Chains A and B, each alone.
Chain A
Amino acid sequence: KAGVTQTPRYLIKTRGQQVTLSCSPISGHRSVSWYQQTPGQGLQFLFEYFSETQRNKGNFPGRFSGRQFSNSRSEMNVSTLELGDSALYLCASSSGAKNIQYFGAGTRLSVL
């Protein structure tokens, strides 16, 4: 079974631009969560989608948004990029009662 796939792996953007990250979950997983990971803050939860609906949301500004498609693939968008948005963005998919999250390799975003 293929794991969680995130694209692209690396991105370099400048302040004020916007960016879209993509995540393909493990086949059969309907829940997709997004996290931001930085050395200073660790893993911080952004939002979770389940069956195309946002089920949970973390404490991030509205510049961060996401969506999920009918095939469970998910995208995350960040508008008006700031230097502080530089981070590793991780996607995780899960399924079932145990709800174990399986992570992708992440997208490394650098904002210059």
Chain B
Amino acid sequence: EDQVTQSPEALRLQEGESSSLNCSYTVSGLRGLFWYRQDPGKGPEFLFTLYSAGEEKEKERLKATLTKKESFLHITAPKPEDSATYLCAVRASGGSYIPTFGRGTSLIVHP
């Protein structure tokens, strides 16, 4: 069974204090790893897809990296508007197209 574990569950940062969120996964053949951002009361917003170990993607202050067992979402010099819940999901090769989601990391950035 595919499993996704995100840590920490919650993270509080000061504005400008860089940090990383972790997504550990167990899947029988990775078809894709997805990062989403979710604001309160809204649907998840797609950020990145990573497909193979060593791959990196960047968007503004966010950088996602991938190894064979985990992915990191690095947040450089965060701002209060980066406060949100960040969700990680994996899709396995073969079988259904449905991704398995982690429980998310709730990030709060204080000014």
Contact residues of A with B, CB < 8 Å? 4, 6, 31, 33, 42-43, 45, 48, 55-56, 58, 88, 90, 92, 94, 98-106, 108
Contacts of A94 in B (CB 8 A): 97
Interface centre among A92, A100, A104 (most CB of B within 10 A): A100
Question: Interface size (B, Cβ < 8 Å)?
Answer: 20
Given that A55-B96, A56-B97 are contacting pairs, would A105 and B43 also be in contact in the complex, using a CB cutoff of 8 Å?
Answer: yes
Which B residues between 91 and 111 are near A, CB-CB below 8 angstroms?
Answer: 91, 96-99, 101-104
Are A100 and B96 in touch, CB under 8 angstroms?
A: no
Query: Closest CB of chain A to B103's CB: distance in Å?
Result: 4
Contact between A106 and B101, CB atoms less than 8 A apart: no
Query: Given A98-B32, A101-B46, A56 and B103 touching (CB < 8 A)?
Result: no
User: What B residues does A45 contact at CB under 8 A?
Assistant: 98
State the main secondary structure of chain B at its contact with A.
Answer: loop
- In the complex, are the beta carbons of A56 and B96 less than 8 A apart? yes
Residues of chain B within 8 A (CB-CB) of A58 are 98
Could you jot down 11 A-B contacts, CB within 8 Å? A42-B102, A42-B103, A42-B104, A43-B44, A43-B87, A48-B97, A55-B97, A56-B97, A88-B41, A103-B43, A103-B45
B96 & A101 in contact (Cβ 8 Å cutoff)? no
A106 touches B43 (CB 8 A): yes
Q: CA of A33 to CA of B46 in the docked complex: distance in angstroms?
A: 15
**Nearest CB of B to A55, in Å:** 7
Interface residues of B in 36-62 (CB under 8 A from A): 36, 41-46, 49
Output the nearest chain A residue to B4 by Cβ-Cβ distance: A42
Could you tell me the distance in whole angstroms from the C-beta of A2 to the nearest C-beta in chain B? 14
A105 to B43, CA, bound (A): 4
Q: Which of B32, B91, B97, B103 has the most CB of A within 10 A?
A: B97
